Amino acid sequence: MSVLDKVVAAVTPEPSEKDREETRAKARARSSGNDWLSMVLEHHAGIENAFARVKSANSAASQRMAQKQLAILLTGHSIAEESVLYPAMALSNQKGHSTAAYAEQSAAKVQTAALDTLEPLSQDYFDKLEHLRAAVAHHIHEEEEKWFPELSGLGDTSVQAKLTKRYTEEFERYTRS
């Protein structure tokens, strides 16, 4: 981990497992089971599992393959958020949160690209992977704790249905094979 990475990690401590579970359970309780918030929560869990698969890979080829699957999920999810959910936040009462969300996801995209320059199974690779995982975990927690529960209360059911339709379209446009 670089000095800068360590500084970033120190000022943005990762939420505990218990905090994350409680926050996700509350967010799930706000969702309807088939709306954009449910899909986001499902994608967040998928991203966490994809990180675990990259970490536990036992050959260079399988680690690179797991990394590609993680990158597809991360990119598809982030594009859908950046095209649909963050604009809706910015256009309502969450301009500051929206700006922070874009900045954090831009940083994650740079770190994802950096991972591609490192040798699988090397210490540098695992350090970068852990840095990226912790940054994404922090970002996900911010979304689930405050930003998205607030967005899920915006407007009437037609506003929420439009967000669900557009989030789904954008995610599928990228991840459909």
The contact set with Fe ion (CB under 5 A) reads 143
Cβ of residue 122: shortest distance to Fe ion, in angstroms?
28
Cβ of residue 62: shortest distance to Fe ion, in angstroms?
26
Cβ of residue 140: shortest distance to Fe ion, in angstroms?
6
Short-list 174, 64, 79, CA closest to 129: 64
Distance of alpha carbon 78 from alpha carbon 18, whole angstroms? 25
In the complex with Fe ion, which residue's Cβ is closer, 143 or 145? Answer: 143
Is the backbone of residue 112 left (phi > 0), alpha (psi -120 to 50) or beta? alpha
In the complex with Fe ion, which residue's Cβ is closer, 63 or 89? Answer: 89
Question: Is-contact 140 47, C-beta < 8 A?
Answer: yes
User: What tokens were used for 37?
Assistant: 């918030």
Question: Is-contact 50 73, C-beta < 8 A?
Answer: yes
Helix H or strand E encompassing 10: helix 3-11
Cβ of residue 144: shortest distance to Fe ion, in angstroms?
8
Short-list 150, 169, 131, 152, CA closest to 51: 131
Q: Which residue number has the CB closest to Fe ion?
A: 143
Cβ of residue 78: shortest distance to Fe ion, in angstroms?
7
* 138: Cα within 13 Å, side-chain hemisphere: 19
In the complex with Fe ion, which residue's Cβ is closer, 64 or 166? Answer: 166
In the complex with Fe ion, which residue's Cβ is closer, 143 or 170? Answer: 143
In the complex with Fe ion, which residue's Cβ is closer, 35 or 143? Answer: 143
Distance of alpha carbon 43 from alpha carbon 58, whole angstroms? 25
In the complex with Fe ion, which residue's Cβ is closer, 100 or 118? Answer: 100
Cβ of residue 101: shortest distance to Fe ion, in angstroms?
8
